[in-house]
């Protein structure tokens, strides 16, 4: 008779397993014989192991990944970021669920860029650290299995992430015209390796039949193309048809050679041509990017347009193009370079407003240059910083000369010297330990927004007192030599230590301002103004306080020197991109004139108009940078909100302690 087990039995499909786990604890259970192992139990365990998921995992092997990278130059070997571009044309049953998995993975690894998932496959253009990009390629290869051709991944080095944020959507990979929908993606032409493509082009030069089709937009062709390819007559791919490319009925037996940037557009347009009856359709495998990384720039003219912050990249090694090299931008002729510079002429309109602000307010033109360059010209954050420094080194230097020779506002040399000295130290620190691209966008939005709040508060306070006070140019160390200075708040709070306190505080503000300037091109001017208004003017005697005009003039000179130093450092390191130089060439003449005019026509009415324009600009910038750069990142929004809340709290404390508090005393005139 079998002994009843005192152990509870749970009603579950895993009851045999639970029973076996509990059995060894029972003294009688240890006598279990091997005969109790029934055939039915063994089959159940085997079926449990051989589930459908397990079988799929055993059967599926990752897609073979082929990396295609350009030959790295010496300075590019130190760059830790990469741009990863690839696609996979393969059926996807649930694009929405697949997109969520990719979004979760990319966010956890800090990747930014674009990932489109549809029923026909996936198209990827992301940027991040090199190791994370390679891990993501392996992640996609494992999910899509080993069917079909290997996955060609283009991996290009960049100084910083080439996209502002991450966008992962379930949408069409390519937008074709309505008449080219419903394609059979299993019949889309034959892939040609780059070397074989080059041989076919050489055969066309020798008189062999065939046509080269550029499956891109017309502006991409104008920047660079293969020699035999004709200019497309369309600005978008959805407008492109076989007729728009000049294909006729007799071309159905003619070899057609297609190429595009990365290869994805040729996959779909190749399927469209095959459905139309064109028999000999050939595609450049991996697109022009893979061709340049493998073969070089042979038969290619110009540069390659890319859809990220780089705007364009060379095909092959620098200088391999057939077109004459320009000393300014490194690609195309000098006439073409100045034509490209003229394309940035719209930026000069924005800098006209920025230059007037730079000469008449405690803000550099970088406050306008950085967001416009990043949001509308699609510069990287580092390129926006370089452009802001370059344009301020010209405009604010011109404004400084105008202030120096026409005004008498530069009377407080101690503040200027200290802010410049510590600002340069902060800039060198920022160049050595820069923020990431997303951190730069958050930092700029936070800095300018907080300064706008503080600037508005300072204008409210300026209406409570008169600025017509005789000014004495002194340093904190001279407080000890003048007996009347002992009536100031600084002496009341710190006594004979007030010079050390003020020097320590100006050092902190100077280093912070320089660090901010090294990341987004502006900050030293704002920090010097904040120090003068909220610290110096409330610790120094009334006769040594500085008016808004004095602080504005001082901030212009401080930012001019910091911009010159920053531009020189960036130029010596050789990291200023060609697009930044072209944009600077287009805007520099406007800024050289606008900044001095802003300093010359600094009247009370003009200042009021500019302040209102500045507040409107900050509001627009806050919304634009928030929506386009911060997107739906809750942590970034919380960081900005926390900084604004801290700024308001500090200003409220300042108002309570210095403006209405009991420490306020009547200071004697000197």
Q: What is the pLDDT of residues 268-327, one digit of tens each?
A: 999 999 988 999 999 999 999 999 999 988 999 998 989 887 778 889 865 444 444 443
> What is the arithmetic mean of pLDDT over 54-69?
64
Q: Could you give the dihedral angle defined by the CA atoms of residues 357, 361, 365 and 369, in that order, rounded to the nearest 10 degrees?
A: -70
Rounded-to-5 percentages of helix, strand, coil across the chain: 60, 10, 30
pLDDT at 562 over 60: yes
Quickly count: other Cβ atoms within 10 Å of residue 9's Cβ: 10
* Token representation of residue 324: 């004459």
CA distances 184 to 152, 155, 269, Å, are 22, 30, 11
Per-domain boundaries in the chain: 66-170, 178-323, 345-659
Round to whole Å and give the CA distance between 221 and 226: 9
Cβ atoms within 10 Å, residue 323: 15
* pLDDT above 50 for 86: yes
Give the distance, in angstroms, between the CA of residue 654 and the centroid of all CA atoms in the same chain.
Answer: 36
Measured CA to CA in angstroms, residue 33 lies from 8, 18, 38, 41, 598 at distances of 22, 18, 11, 14, 98
Report the pLDDT averaged over residues 370-384: 75
66-170: CATH number: 3.30.70.100
- Catalytic annotation on 260? yes
Residue 634 — φ and ψ, nearest 5°? -65, -35
What confidence score (pLDDT) does residue 481 get?
A: 54
Mean pLDDT, range 7-30, rounded to an integer: 42
Nearest Cα to Cα of residue 419 among 555, 318, 325: 555
Cα gap 399→55, rounded to integer Å: 73
Instruction: Choose between 427 and 636: higher pLDDT.
Output: 427
Nearest CA-CA partner of 593 in 301, 348, 263: 348
Specify the fold of 178-323.
Oxidized Rhodanese; domain 1 (3.40.250)
**pLDDT single digits (tens) 90-101:** 889 899 999 999
> Which has more confidence, 634 or 138?
138
DSSP assignment string, 133-174: HHHHHHHHHHHH-S-SS-EEEEEEEESS-SSSSEEEEE--SS
Per-residue pLDDT band for 553 (boundaries 50, 70, 90) equals confident
pLDDT of residue 13: 42
Catalytic residue among 260, 450, 562, 587: 260
The tens digit of pLDDT for each residue in 487-509 reads: 556 666 676 777 788 889 999 99
- Predicted confidence at residue 132, as pLDDT, reads 94
Q: 156 or 540: whose pLDDT is higher?
A: 156
In this prediction, residues 214-224 reach a mean pLDDT of: 90
* CA separation for the pair 83, 163 (Å, rounded): 9
Task: Using alpha carbons, select from 239, 379, 257, 376 the residue that is nearest to residue 308.
Answer: 379
**Cβ atoms 544, 562 nearer than 8 A:** no
Over range 364-377, report the average pLDDT.
Answer: 75
Q: Which two tokens stand for residue 430?
A: 């920022």
Angle at 120 between CA 114 and CA 123, to 5 degrees: 20
What's the rounded Cα separation, in Å, for the pair 510 and 390? 20
Q: Do domains 66-170 and 178-323 have the same CATH topology?
A: no
- Alpha carbon distance 214, 30 (integer Å): 77
Measured distance CA(385)–CA(379) in Å, rounded: 9
* Mean pLDDT, range 111-137, rounded to an integer: 93
- Please determine, for residue 398, whether its predicted confidence score (pLDDT) is greater than 60: yes
Q: Count how many Cα atoms sit within 13 Å of the Cα of residue 207 in the half-sphere of its side chain.
A: 0
- Give the separation between CA 518 and CA 341, rounded to whole angstroms: 25
Q: Which residues contact 96 (CB under 8 A, 6 or more apart)?
A: 170
- How many Cα atoms within 13 Å fall on the side-chain side of residue 234? 17
């Amino acid at each position: 008779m079998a002994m009843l087990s005192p152990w509870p039995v749970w009603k579950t499909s895993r009851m045999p397993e639970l029973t076996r786990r509990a059995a060894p604890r029972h003294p009688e259970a240890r006598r279990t014989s091997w005969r109790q192992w029934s055939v039915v139990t063994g089959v159940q365990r085997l079926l449990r192991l051989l589930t459908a998921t397990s079988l799929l995992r055993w059967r599926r092997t990752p897609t073979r990944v082929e990396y295609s990278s350009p030959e790295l130059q010496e300075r590019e070997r130190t760059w830790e970021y990469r741009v990863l571009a690839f696609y996979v044309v393969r059926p996807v049953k649930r694009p929405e669920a697949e997109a969520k998995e990719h979004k979760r993975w990319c966010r956890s690894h800090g990747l930014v860029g674009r990932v489109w998932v549809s029923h026909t496959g996936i198209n990827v253009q992301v940027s991040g650290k090199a190791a994370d990009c390679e891990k993501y390629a392996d992640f996609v290869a494992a999910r899509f299995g080993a069917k079909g051709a290997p996955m060609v991944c283009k991996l290009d080095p960049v100084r910083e992430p080439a996209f502002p944020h991450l966008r992962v959507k379930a949408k069409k990979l390519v937008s074709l015209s309505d008449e080219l929908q419903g394609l059979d993606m299993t019949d889309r032409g034959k892939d040609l390796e780059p070397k074989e493509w080059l041989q076919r082009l050489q055969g066309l030069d020798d008189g062999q039949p065939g046509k080269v089709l550029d499956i891109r937009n017309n502006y991409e062709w104008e920047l660079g193309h293969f020699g035999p390819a004709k200019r497309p007559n369309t600005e978008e791919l959805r407008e492109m048809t076989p007729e728009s490319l000049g294909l006729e009925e007799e071309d159905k037996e003619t070899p057609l050679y297609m190429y595009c940037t990365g290869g994805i557009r040729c996959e779909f347009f190749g399927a469209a041509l095959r459905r139309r009856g064109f028999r000999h359709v050939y595609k450049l495998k991996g697109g022009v990017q893979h061709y340049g990384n493998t073969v070089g720039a042979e038969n290619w003219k110009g540069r390659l347009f890319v859809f990220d912050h780089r705007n364009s990249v060379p095909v092959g090694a620098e200088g391999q193009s057939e077109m004459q090299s320009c000393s300014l931008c490194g690609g195309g002729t000098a006439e073409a370079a100045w034509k490209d510079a003229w394309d940035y002429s719209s930026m000069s309109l924005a800098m006209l407003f920025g230059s007037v602000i730079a000469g008449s307010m405690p803000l550099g033109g970088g406050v306008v240059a950085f967001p416009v360059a990043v949001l509308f010209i699609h510069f990287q954050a580092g390129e926006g910083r370089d452009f802001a420094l370059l344009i301020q080194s010209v405009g604010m230097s011109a404004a400084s000369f105008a202030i120096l020779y026409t005004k008498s506002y530069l009377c407080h040399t101690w503040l200027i010297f200290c802010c410049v000295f510590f600002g340069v130290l902060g800039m060198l620190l920022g160049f050595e330990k820069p923020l990431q691209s997303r951190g730069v966008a958050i930092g700029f939005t936070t800095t300018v927004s907080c300064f706008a709040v503080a600037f508005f508060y300072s204008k409210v306070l300026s209406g409570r007192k008169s600025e017509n006070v005789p000014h004495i140019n002194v340093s904190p160390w001279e407080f000890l030599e003048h007996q009347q200075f002992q009536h100031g708040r600084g002496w009341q709070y710190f006594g004979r230590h007030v010079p050390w306190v003020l020097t320590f505080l100006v050092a902190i503000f100077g280093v912070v301002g320089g660090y901010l300037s090294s990341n987004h091109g502006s900050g030293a001017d704002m920090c010097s103004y904040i120090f003068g208004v909220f610290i110096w003017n409330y610790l120094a005697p009334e006769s040594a306080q500085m008016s808004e005009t004095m602080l504005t003039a001082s901030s212009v000179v401080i930012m001019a020197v910091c911009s010159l130093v920053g531009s020189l450092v960036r130029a010596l390191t050789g990291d200023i991109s060609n697009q930044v130089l072209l944009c600077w060439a287009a805007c520099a003449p406007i800024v050289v004139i606008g900044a001095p005019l802003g300093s010359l026509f600094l009247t009370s009415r003009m200042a009021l108009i500019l302040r209102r324009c500045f507040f409107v600009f900050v509001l627009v910038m806050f919304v634009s940078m928030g929506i386009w750069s911060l997107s739906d990142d809750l942590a970034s929004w919380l960081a900005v909100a926390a900084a604004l809340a801290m700024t308001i709290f500090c200003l409220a404390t300042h108002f309570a302690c210095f403006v209405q508090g009991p420490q306020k005393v009547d200071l004697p005139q000197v």
